[in-house]
Structure 1
């Protein structure tokens, strides 16, 4: 066994177990969030699924409220998510997130008959609050468990869970809705998986290598020594709010993730409705063809990952240039295809499916292009950064279905869909354009745990600094 392998510990270590757990957390989170896009189709058109269950006459605007309501809750949950993660650790906070979201999902079919779309929205808001705890924990957990050399790889593998969750939420939901379980079965199956995951999370998850019960000494030292390269602090440090909120690289990251979030949520939430309205697909065909783009996205995520690994090994390109290149492909290819798909009618069904596959498949690179950028900018404040980013992205994702519901009053009207897709395309284009100018992967000065103290010292005279240092026992 070589010295390098001994220093890293087992080839399959506890850090990989944490990666797998996070992968399944992504799967469950996105399944619970996105099954509604297929469920509402089944609930408003029971004749195409299982007619033994109630059908509801909800209009396009009411459906848009249902689709967007989970994001209302996520906005509320982001800030306490960051606070709980810093105070209680990722293990506890993530467990609360998964458990709460799953319980709310299980009770959904029981409550809807009593309150219709309004109670559906209320439940989804509460479910969103629990899901808002999720992402701050994810990035904080990755920052603690990922060696610098493996961060891009482990982060990308975790994020493939959101693609698998998306595929399952769209593909499997259609079959469940048409089975003897009907549309209530979508919630029972999806959220039941979430409850099972909670058990595995409680047993196997650990907050950090320092507190892990299962990690070997070699693997622990490998992770900690690697992270010393960016001087990550393992204690609570003050958050430099002013520096963060005025940081050009951070603001650029916020903009590119928000604009990409608009485009992605437009396709994600509206694709089943678009396929049914314009291309006249029934629920089963709709589910199959609506999930195909995400199968392509899953495959392309590994293509991008292999491509990125190859270039980084060659060391002919900086990490910043690599990420900008991949992000450009991931956002500007959909810019073209989204505009094109809006001009296709029912006679061009096959071409529309192909363009949607290209749109979503090419978008897979954003997990590499921008997904880990918050950790790269500031390992010490990763959970705070991602809370801010996802709070804003959630607002955008909330607005996207509402905007589509306002524009598309007739789901069979192709011209109305053109406006929706054109808006998403322009968001992608300008979001990436500014990222090319201002984005970076360099760790920022305000990540330093002594940054605020140093700023205070800079505002004082040399004599004041010396007196202060003497009082603090530094001289």
Structure 2
């Protein structure tokens, strides 16, 4: 073993994901204690299709918490959704900045701004307009997260270990979601909702200090690393070199690349299940299955905690199979995309017609999220497969339409359930997600690839010739 600095760096990326995803969802829980209970309970249209649930507490209030603000349901929705507006609009510029500038400092600025904006929430909440602007800006600075991680994976992760460490790095998104939801409820009940934002805002500053002092943008510039490990990373196939940010961006090749368009389509449709579960699962659990807030939070968190274990294991399995010659990197990516699309689609069809089977529906919803989480070792790392030297830009291009489902699904649910939550109305949502997921699977299976594209390297470079050789080898193995 050459050393462990690259592993510590990957753990730091995992923690960065924990921070950004945790600060993304904390207000979804905390808003219960911010808004007056009578406002939260207005226009309740819970389902009455399962009379057996009538004796189960299914309040949508805050469990005795009485908030300060009289925000309408529309304003409450905007507090949550405007984050995604900033997130989507910032995706392409973030990808460009991640590729063209010092990636370490781009990530550092993103985490630092997230922390400062979080600390400002208790002050901004007194004026709803200021809070909405702050949420938009938080989403905007958070957009660099995935592009930056993709770029840094290309700089720091050895090719043979890629799927394993990508699984570990992206496990931070699940762990951060779980810790944020659970800690928000605990802190809010004990110390009030303002304390949630103070605690969540201060802790990331510790990460910023450690990352700024002890880590460099790339192994070539890293001081605290053995020469053996540095050479292992630098000489790894597909390693992103420091001077890659100065190269001319091959826009024509990018926009005429069939694998690139396949990835754009896969990202657009393959995120439907994930965003449906992330944004609408608590609503379905409350309105249709009638779980109270405490039970809802625990059940909603559990699959993300499982994801933190299953994604690294799946990544390790994909690396092992490729190293043993059982499948290529391309086949491994297609396996992961298949896991994120086919089983969740089957489960969602079953859930749509399960009706009042509360226990089995809950189990299948949890399984859907766990299996759907394979997107992080599937199409969400494929940008780095295609072109490590332009991974940030590719992530910006592909994840811009990939975030559309985060807007479309809440709007669709709201429109279809305007006159009441019924299983019949919810089936339309489930089928939309199923059709989208299966479309993504078909597109990636036919046109997707994990082979480094020739345009990742300059014309006539040794790396381009090496990519051609790997291309021919993989073609024979497929």
Number of the residue aligned with 1:76: 89
1:45–1:351 Cα change, 3 Å: farther
Q: Does residue 168 of structure 1 match 2:179?
A: yes
Verify the 8 A CA contact 1:296 1:360 in the aligned structure 2.
no
Q: Does residue 92 of structure 1 match 2:102?
A: no
Deviations 1:88-117 (A, max 9, x none): 3111111110111121122113222322xx
1:418–1:332 Cα change, 3 Å: same
Instruction: Give 1:334 deviation, angstroms.
Output: 1.0
Q: Does residue 318 of structure 1 match 2:332?
A: no
Q: Does residue 114 of structure 1 match 2:114?
A: no
Instruction: Give 1:87 deviation, angstroms.
Output: 4.0
Instruction: Give 1:327 deviation, angstroms.
Output: 1.4
Verify the 8 A CA contact 2:36 2:67 in the aligned structure 1.
no
Instruction: Give 1:35 deviation, angstroms.
Output: 2.2
> How many pairs are equivalent?
437
Verify the 8 A CA contact 1:66 1:121 in the aligned structure 2.
yes
Deviations 1:306-330 (A, max 9, x none): 4323322321222212221221122
Q: Distance in 2 between matches of 1:74 and 1:185?
A: 25
Instruction: Give 1:451 deviation, angstroms.
Output: 8.0
Q: Does residue 268 of structure 1 match 2:278?
A: yes
Q: Distance in 2 between matches of 1:35 and 1:451?
A: 50
Unmatched 5+ stretches in structure 1? 453-475
Verify the 8 A CA contact 1:137 1:383 in the aligned structure 2.
yes
Deviating more after overlay: 97-106 vs 392-401: 392-401
Alignment of 1:303-314 (within 5 A): 303-314=313-324
Q: Distance in 2 between matches of 1:410 and 1:77?
A: 35
Number of the residue aligned with 1:373: 382
Alignment of 1:391-402 (within 5 A): 391-402=400-411
Verify the 8 A CA contact 1:48 1:282 in the aligned structure 2.
no
1:322–1:108 Cα change, 3 Å: same
Alignment of 1:284-295 (within 5 A): 284-295=294-305
Q: Does residue 16 of structure 1 match 2:30?
A: no
Deviations 1:53-85 (A, max 9, x none): 3254532x4444333211211233233323433
Instruction: Give 1:290 deviation, angstroms.
Output: 0.9
Alignment of 1:184-333 (within 5 A): 184-227=194-237, 232=241, 234-235=243-244, 236-333=246-343
Deviations 1:407-443 (A, max 9, x none): 3326643333322222122211111111110000111
Verify the 8 A CA contact 1:342 1:414 in the aligned structure 2.
yes
Deviating more after overlay: 77-86 vs 94-103: 77-86
1:193–1:237 Cα change, 3 Å: same
Instruction: Give 1:369 deviation, angstroms.
Output: 2.0
1:409–1:182 Cα change, 3 Å: farther
Q: Distance in 1 between matches of 2:341 and 2:369?
A: 10
Instruction: Give 1:237 deviation, angstroms.
Output: 0.6
Q: Distance in 1 between matches of 2:184 and 2:460?
A: 50
Helix, strand or coil at the partner of 2:247: coil
Q: Distance in 2 between matches of 1:157 and 1:68?
A: 28
Q: Distance in 2 between matches of 1:133 and 1:382?
A: 12
Q: Distance in 2 between matches of 1:451 and 1:240?
A: 15
Q: Distance in 1 between matches of 2:158 and 2:11?
A: 16
Q: Does residue 102 of structure 1 match 2:112?
A: no
Alignment of 1:46-61 (within 5 A): 46=37, 47-54=61-68, 56-59=70-73, 61=74
Helix, strand or coil at the partner of 1:180: helix
Alpha-carbon RMSD: 2.4
1:303–1:216 Cα change, 3 Å: closer
Number of the residue aligned with 1:449: 458
Q: Does residue 358 of structure 1 match 2:406?
A: no
1:403–1:67 Cα change, 3 Å: farther
Q: State the TM-score, normalizing by the size of structure 2.
A: 0.85
Number of the residue aligned with 2:19: 28
Verify the 8 A CA contact 1:167 1:295 in the aligned structure 2.
yes
Q: Distance in 2 between matches of 1:266 and 1:273?
A: 10
Unmatched 5+ stretches in structure 2? 38-60, 462-478
Match of 1:153 among 151, 159, 164: 164
